[in-house]
Amino acid sequence: MGYFCGIDIGGTFTDCVVLDDTGAITLAKVSSTPPNFAEGFLNAIDTVAGRLGLSTADFLGSTDLLLHGTTVGTNALVQMKGARTGLITTRGHGDALIIMRSAGRSAGLTIDELLHVSRHKKPEPIVPRTRIKEVSERTDWAGDVLLELNEDEVRTAISELVADGVEAIAVSFLWGFVNADHELRVKAMIEELAPGVLISCAHELIAKPGEYERTAAAAINAFIGPATSSYIQQVDRVTTERGYTNPLLIMQAAGGVVHAEEAARHPLFTIASGPVGGVAGAAYLAQRMGHPNVIACDMGGTSFDVGIIVDGDPVTSSETVINQYTFFMPRVDIESIGSGGGSLLWVDDHSQTMRVGPQSAGALPGPVCYGRGGTEPTVTDCDAVLGRYNPDNFLGGELELDRDGALAAVERVASGIGLEPVAAADGALRIVESQMADLMRQMTVERGRDPRDFVIYAFGGAGAAHAVAFARELGAQQVVIPLGDLASTWSALGVMTSDVLHVREHSEVLIAPFSHERMNEVFAQMEASAREQLTAEGFAEADIELTRLVEMKFSLQIHQVEVPVPGGTLTAQDAEEQVGRFIARYEEIYGKGSAFVGAGTSIGLFKLLARGKVRTPVPPPIDRSDTEPVGRRDVYWREHGAFTPTDIFDGSRLSPAAEVDGPAILEFPDTTVVVPPGASARLDELGSVLIDVGTEAGSGSTGTHATASA
C-alpha cells in the first residue's frame, strides 16, 4: 500500500491528511508545538501512522509523497525573531531599506490603525543601519558596468559584519538583476571569508526593478533563513532517518511545492505559504464540482484567511506586505486578519465596547474550554457557551470541553459592559463574523467582483461553524464545506494536491508594437530551463505544464497588470493581440472604459509558471444511508433569540440523499457544521456539505429532520 501525506502547521493545530492508493482518507489533528514546530510535525505523523495500524517507520517507508506547509518563516518575520543580519549594497544606497519608499509607516496597516496617524511608526528594522555596509560598484540599467567592484571595500565590510556577530548577509546591488556579476563575486568572497554565514543575493530571488522591494526581499530571506532552513533540514533529516525515502516537498507562496533543498536555499518563498494550501485544495475541488468562481475561507485557531478563485485559477499577486515591509514575491493573493477560533474577547478601555482579536490564545494555553490553563474567553468559548459544540464529542471525543469554564470566562468580560454572558457570546460572534465578511468584501466588491457570482468554500477548524452567518452578510448564496470532515484539515489536503511549481521571471522592457521574435526568444529560453529542471526532478514530458504570463502597463504608469500569453510559437498577430488582452484585463480590474488606449503600452516582465503535475489518488464516493438525527440539544439561535432544542446529525453517517433544514447541527469527528434557521444542507457524492444559506429566519419550527431527496 502506498500513501500520500500532507501536513500543515497552524498557530493552534498541526493537521495531517493521508490518502492511500484507493483514495481512502485518514486524518490526524494534533496541537502545534511552538517554538519547536518540528515536534508537532512528528507527532502528527506518529498519530496518523497509529490510526493506520502501522509503526512510524513502516508508514514512512510506504509513503510515496510527503508534502509540508510550514509557518516557521512567517512567524519569524511577524515576531521579528530572526537571525542577526547584515546587508552589503551599492555605495549611496544604504538607506533604501531604512527609507522604505517613505510608505513604511503605513504599509499593511488596517483601516483602524491608519486612522490614528500620530501612532504610525516604522517597524523594527530587519537590518539596523550599523550593519548596512556600502561598497563602491555601479552597473547601469542595461547591465553595463560603470564602476568595477571595489573588492578591498567588500573585504572590510565582510570583516566588520563578522566581527559584529552576523549569522546571515544579504547582498543587493543596484541593477544587480540585470548583471549579477558583482553580487556573485561578493557571494564568493563571503563563502571564502565567512564560511557558515547564510548568504542571500537579491538577483537569485527577484528579477525585476524595484530597488527597495528587492533589497527587502534579500534582507528578509537572510533574516528568516537560518531558522527556516534549519527547520526544513531537520524535518527532512528526521523523516529520512525514520524510513522516508522520497523527496520532501515544501509548500511555496506561489501555489505549488518544491524540493526541501530548494526551499531551504530560498526560505523567502515559504512566507505566507500556510494558507495557500487551502486555496490550492479549493481550486482542485472546485474544478471537480464545476464552480469557476470561489471565495476560499480558512478560519483556523489564530487567523481568518481569504483567497479568490476566478475562472478556475487562484488570483495571484507579485507584491507582499508583512510587518509593514513591502517586498516582491510571486504568491497566491491571500489576505488575513486575526479572527480565528482562538481570538480573544476584550473590552476597549476608551469606548467601553467589546472587541474580538486580533490577539489569540494560540495553541497554548488555548481557549478556556480546552482546559489547558486558558483564562481569557475566545470565539471557541462562545461557540461552546451557545451550544454549537458538543462538550462530549469535540475532535472526535478526544477533547472534553469545559462549557462551565467558558461561560464563567465570558461572564467576566460581559459584566464589565453590562451584558448577560449569552448575549455577550452571541455579540462576539456577530463581531467576528462581520470582520470576516468585511475582509471578503474587500477581496471581491472593492476589486470589481460581485460576491453573488461566487460560491464560498469554508474550511479550517472553525469555518463550518460560522460560514452561513458571514455568507449572508456578504450576500453569497451557497456555502460548501469541502469533503465534510476534511474541512478541518483542508490546508493539509491542499498541500497534498499541489503540483511542483517553479516560477521563472525575466525583466525586459518591450514597447508596443511588440516584437514577436523577441517574445519567442525570451519564452523559449525560460521554457527550456524549466523543462530541464522538471525533467531532472523526474517528471515526464506529459506531466509538465508551462503557463506564460507578462506584466503590462500603460505608459507613465507605475503598477503593472499580469496578462496571459498564448503558448506555442507566437506570430505577429499574437503579439498585436496581446495589447487587446491587456486592455480587457485592465478594464476587468478597474472598470469598463478605464483603459487609456492612446497612451501606449509596454511589457516590463516575462513570467513562466512551470508545473510538474503530482498525481494523487482521488477520494472515492461515499456510501451512507442515514437520514435521521442522532440526538438533540439546546442551541442558542439569534434568529429565535433563545436556546432551542435542535436536531443533531452524525455527518460521518449522513446519506448524500438527505436534505437537512435548519436549525440543525452536523457533527463530524473534527468539524462542526452549523445550519441556522432559514438555511438547508445536503451532502454530495464526495461528502462535501452544500448549504443554501437562505435568509435569516425570525421564527420557525423548533426541530427538524432530514428527508431523502429524489
Model confidence pLDDT, tens digit, residues 484-503: 888 888 888 888 888 999 99
CA distances from 632 to 111, 173, 388, 702 (A): 43, 67, 12, 11
Mean residue pLDDT of the chain comes to: 89
**pLDDT score for 122:** 81
Question: What total number of domains does the chain contain?
Answer: 5
Domain endpoint, select from 480, 495, 510 = 495
Contact residues for 577 (Cβ-Cβ < 8 A; gap 6+): none
Q: Is residue 684 part of a domain?
A: no
Is the same domain home to 181 and 99? yes
Instruction: Pick the more confident residue, 85 or 372.
Output: 85
Q: Is residue 702 part of a domain?
A: no
**pLDDT score for 77:** 82
Is the pLDDT reported for residue 696 higher than 70? no
Is the same domain home to 283 and 234? no
Rounded to an integer, what distance in angstroms lies between the CA atom of residue 75 and that of residue 82?
Answer: 9
The CB density around residue 60, as the number of other CB atoms within 10 Å, is 23
Rounded to an integer, what distance in angstroms lies between the CA atom of residue 267 and that of residue 373?
Answer: 34
Q: Is residue 659 part of a domain?
A: no
The most confident of 31-35, 171-175, 320-324, 354-358, by mean pLDDT? 171-175
Is the same domain home to 100 and 143? yes
Is the pLDDT reported for residue 102 higher than 90? no
Triad 276, 280, 285: Cα angle to 5°: 145
Q: What is the CATH number of the domain that holds 28?
A: 3.30.420.40
Is the same domain home to 470 and 509? no
Instruction: Pick the more confident residue, 580 or 120.
Output: 580
Contact residues for 583 (Cβ-Cβ < 8 A; gap 6+): 595, 597
Of the candidates 341, 391, 345, 384, the one whose C-alpha atom is nearest the C-alpha of residue 366 is 341
DSSP-H helix ranges across 52-142: 56-61, 72-78, 96-99, 111-115
Q: Is residue 414 part of a domain?
A: yes
Is the same domain home to 32 and 120? no
Is the same domain home to 406 and 319? no
- Percent of the chain's residues with pLDDT above 90: 62
Model confidence pLDDT, tens digit, residues 580-638: 999 998 888 788 888 888 899 999 999 999 999 987 777 778 888 788 899 999 999 99
Which amino acid is present at 201?
C
Is the same domain home to 388 and 477? no
Is the same domain home to 485 and 443? yes
Q: Is residue 469 part of a domain?
A: yes
Is the same domain home to 442 and 315? yes
- Percent of the chain's residues with pLDDT above 70: 96
Q: Is residue 529 part of a domain?
A: yes
Supply 29's cell numbers.
Answer: 489533528
Residue 488, φ and ψ in degrees, nearest 5? -65, -30
Is the same domain home to 99 and 39? no
Residue 290 structural domain: 277-339+432-495
Model confidence pLDDT, tens digit, residues 204-216: 999 888 899 999 9
**pLDDT score for 1:** 67
Rounded to an integer, what distance in angstroms lies between the CA atom of residue 173 and that of residue 204?
Answer: 12
Identify whether the C-beta of residue 58 lies closer than 8 Å to the C-beta of residue 49. yes
Is the same domain home to 514 and 607? yes
Q: Is residue 368 part of a domain?
A: yes
Q: What is the CATH number of the domain that holds 191?
A: 3.40.50
Model confidence pLDDT, tens digit, residues 638-667: 999 999 999 999 998 898 878 899 899 999
Q: pTM for the whole thing?
A: 0.86
Is the pLDDT reported for residue 252 higher than 60? yes
Contact residues for 525 (Cβ-Cβ < 8 A; gap 6+): 506
Rounded to an integer, what distance in angstroms lies between the CA atom of residue 387 and that of residue 381?
Answer: 10
CA distances from 658 to 481, 673, 675, 707, 708 (A): 16, 15, 14, 5, 5
Q: Is residue 218 part of a domain?
A: yes
Is the same domain home to 335 and 460? yes
Model confidence pLDDT, tens digit, residues 505-556: 998 999 999 999 999 999 999 999 999 999 999 999 999 999 999 999 998 8
Model confidence pLDDT, tens digit, residues 616-630: 777 778 888 788 899
Model confidence pLDDT, tens digit, residues 132-145: 999 999 999 989 99
Identify whether the C-beta of residue 403 lies closer than 8 Å to the C-beta of residue 384. yes
Identify whether the C-beta of residue 43 lies closer than 8 Å to the C-beta of residue 33. yes
